[in-house]
Amino acid sequence: MPQKVVIESPGSPELKQTLAFLKERLSVPAGVAVSMSTSSPGATIQLLLNKAPDNTLGTEGYRLSITPNNIVIKSNQPAGLFYGVQTLLQLFPKEIENKSVVKNVKWEAPCVEITDYPRFGWRGLMFDVSRHFFTKEDVKEYIDEMVRYKYNLLHLHLTDDEGWRIEIKSLPNLTKVGAWNVKKIGNFGSFAPPLPDEPRDYGGFYTQKDIQELVQYAKDRFVNIMPEIDVPGHSLAAIASYPELSCTPGAENYRVRSGEKIMDWTSPKLKALVDNTLCPANEKVYDFLDKVLTEVAKLFPFEYIHMGGDECAKNFWEQSKEVKALMQKEGLKDMEEVQSYFEKRLEKIVESKGKKFMGWDEILEGGLAPSAVVMGWRGMKGGIEAAKMKHEVVMSPTTYAYIDYMQGDPAIEPQVYATLRLSKAYQFEPLPEGVEARYIKGGQANLWTEQVYNIRHAQYMTWPRGFAIAESLWSPKNKKNWKDFFSRVEKHFERFDIMELKFAPSVYEPIIEVSRTSDKKLKVDLSTEVEGLDIYYTFDNTFPDRFYPKYSRPLVVPPEALMLKLVTYKGKEQKGRLISIPAWELNNRADKKK
């Protein structure tokens, strides 16, 4: 790279952030002088908008040409130039991610010709800022990370039982009361109920000015922000703020949840222990939602508003005189039709604000207006069913895209109810066989944050699985290859190390299967997601390294052993973290398999 770099670009205001980002990356670590021009035929780097549309590229594609003399990125729209810049910077040495000058680096990129454009238009990440509050600066940081991998949609889950995170000026209690709970740390869902005198000072919310700032910040990086107001279930924060929204007597005693148990997940039908639902038979609820959506619609220019609709427990509705009267009046046969009645009224409110209605796939139950867009989450089934009913669908299945799931062995991950490894996430195919492509808008990964307390852990949960989902949404299906993908993931691990951006190394750690032999002894089978790793182990509570026994066949646990310790190496380099599993835990796992 020359000591002076000239960047030629159109004088488009939309490219201001693109140019600032490119200039920073070239000038800070490489220490070169960077100047800008709107007309410089001899420029080192040219960002050019096509005078005649290139139909291959669409609105987000680009052509990147690197020769010994210069670099040219062409696109139809500014978004394509932005994505072309992201690819260009990935072609330079990893040291370009440094935040200070780096010496003795050859600042070279390979000579290539690249034509690149996305497979799907909807490439999203959902960030749950309700279970734990993330600051405005945290959200900006998350946006900065996602755009490097060409995500263009941030779905903000703004309301839930644990907090209401957006200022609604006509309903001040939503943030005065609903944005705060008692701080608890540990295993979410099993906390003791807070005591009456414990301070409710944990949480926060975004002012309307904050939201406007975030929307503009995202727009400058070609990201839309979609708000989610989750109703009629998941509404305890709203009910604690305005108890009259509930069907259930005593709601004035409800408080914003801190992570104590409020659902019986073992019941055949979802059963709430506390009524966290808005009352579908109360006209005040629809007035409330009209006020909320009037203000939300003005804040978010994106065409969709997500209205939740998931996991609505109906056992309190079944006991409500008002709901029974509504059923009789409207001829509703069951509780699914009651929710459908609610969703259809809600959809009309959303549409009255000039927006399109979206919800989780439960909104299909009991019937749904044809214009509603469905986000399929309960495996692939919900999305497939919605598409066959001719609804537009965004695929975000638990099977591949729930990045709140554990990434590796529970012994070393914050425990939640399921595991999603990188190799499984990479199998995500948004367009299933037998489904018409026109109904699949794209897909997204979802980061729920019950067990995610801060932005560092949000990074850990998102990357590298965010790479897998990004590639499935951008790249052609026939170009996907796990071995090639992971070789590139490792290169980005090196970049993240330089950036000090946290990621999960779980892919390097062993997959552990525990069973029993015919004579009831514990047997441990070990495998790895990626090739070339050796697993070393001990049962004597010492710390294994590559000079300890190497795994080659299933292990039979010595009857008096107290601890299994495992570590992986690639040659002489330790790759995985040390995993320690007590013998009692091995016994528990074996017994669960029966």
Query: Is 160 a catalytic site residue?
Result: yes
The burial of 71, by beta-carbon neighbours within 10 Å (0-12 exposed, 13-18 middle, 19 or more buried), is given as: buried
Interatomic CA distance for residues 109 and 214, integer angstroms: 33
Instruction: Give the residue from 367, 368, 363 showing the smallest Cα distance to 376.
Output: 363
Given a contact cutoff of 8 angstroms between Cβ atoms, the answer to whether 37 and 60 are in contact is: no
Query: Is 116 a catalytic site residue?
Result: no
Neighbouring CB atoms inside 10 A of 553's CB total 7
- Per the structure block, which two tokens stand in for 328? 């009789």
Q: Which of 311, 336, 429, 525 is the catalytic position? A: 311
Report which secondary-structure segment, H or E, holds 18.
helix 16-27
Interatomic CA distance for residues 268 and 360, integer angstroms: 20
Bond from prior residue into 582 cis (ω within 30 degrees of 0): no
Interatomic CA distance for residues 58 and 38, integer angstroms: 24
Q: CA separation (Å) from 31 to 22, 28, 285?
A: 13, 5, 59
Cβ neighbours for 391, distance < 8 A, ≥ 6 positions apart? 364, 368, 370, 372, 373, 374, 439
Q: Which of 157, 234, 391, 492 is the catalytic position? A: 234
Provide the β-strand partners of residue 155: 126, 226
**SS in 3 state form for 123-147?**
EEEEEECCCCCCCHHHHHHHHHHHH
Given a contact cutoff of 8 angstroms between Cβ atoms, the answer to whether 322 and 282 are in contact is: yes
Cβ neighbours for 283, distance < 8 A, ≥ 6 positions apart? none
Interatomic CA distance for residues 337 and 219, integer angstroms: 39
Query: Is 492 a catalytic site residue?
Result: no
DSSP 419-441: B--HHHHTT--SS-TTS-GGGEE
Interatomic CA distance for residues 261 and 189, integer angstroms: 5
Provide the β-strand partners of residue 563: 540, 582
Q: Which of 160, 161, 220, 228 is the catalytic position? A: 160
Task: Quote the crossing angle between the two packed helices 455-462 and 136-147, to the nearest 10°.
Answer: 20
Interatomic CA distance for residues 524 and 530, integer angstroms: 19
Report which secondary-structure segment, H or E, holds 251.
none
Instruction: Give the residue from 61, 62, 81 showing the smallest Cα distance to 9.
Output: 81
Given a contact cutoff of 8 angstroms between Cβ atoms, the answer to whether 587 and 417 are in contact is: no
Instruction: Give SS3 for 115.
Output: strand
Interatomic CA distance for residues 126 and 104, integer angstroms: 40
DSSP 175-215: HHTTTEE----SSTT-BPPPPTTS---EE--B-HHHHHHHH
Question: Which amino acids are annotated catalytic?
Answer: 160, 234, 311
